Amino acid sequence: MKLDTKDFEAKMKKSVAAYSDNLSTIRAGRANPDVLKKISVDYYGSPTPISAIAEIKVTDARTIVINSWDKSAMKGIEKAILTSDLGINPQNDGSSIRLSFPPTTEERRRELSKQIAKMGEEAKVAIRNIRRDANDKVKAMKKDGEMTEDEAKSSDKSVQDLTDRYIKEIDGVTAAKTKEIMEI
């Protein structure tokens, strides 16, 4: 009986998706509404994502406009953006909040690419941990007599192939984001 790798593959897919999602929140000098994903506003006593109480539009390559459906929430949105690690001062004209993204400096782009590489390594570690769990299961099944030596080797190979595929996918996502960051 060969190891069923579907569960492990699903976990690896989730790891890659989580990594891609984390990368989308990194500001690359271009206006990207995903940078607001992690920012919550204190809205009537409960933390609420900006996207739940406002319309977020990208008007040009370097500008995001936030129009709140409840005008009383504008001050809260502005305060949440100011206290976040976004590093942008919002311009509130009373009816909308404008975020202007300055072009990133060469030093900042290098810093961001290092941060992306570190996040990529962490994602690879997560994939390798899933591989380790799969290999442990193969060893346990072999020890319990549920699997022959040949089936164990075949299972180990399929787990390694799966790991290699998802590590390559993480490398691709990392390279694409680094290229996007390093563009002027």
Task: Give a yes or no: residue 1 inside a domain.
Answer: no
Are 14 and 127 in contact, with CB atoms under 8 Å apart? Answer: no
Statement to judge: residues 165 and 148 lie in one domain:
yes
* pLDDT single digits (tens) 87-104: 788 888 888 889 888 777
Statement to judge: residues 37 and 73 lie in one domain:
yes
Statement to judge: residues 122 and 137 lie in one domain:
yes
Statement to judge: residues 125 and 166 lie in one domain:
yes
What are the phi and psi torsion angles at 66 (to 5°)?
A: -115, 120
Structural domain boundaries enclosing 159: 6-24+105-182
Statement to judge: residues 178 and 109 lie in one domain:
yes
Task: Give a yes or no: residue 127 inside a domain.
Answer: yes
Q: Which residues of the chain fall below pLDDT 50?
A: none
Q: What does the pLDDT read at residue 124?
A: 95
Q: What is the DSSP string of 46-90?
A: EEEEHHHHEEEEEEETTEEEEEESSGGGHHHHHHHHHHSTT----
pTM over 0.75: no
How many structural domains compose the chain? 2
CATH number at residue 131: 1.10.132.20
Q: What does the pLDDT read at residue 125?
A: 95
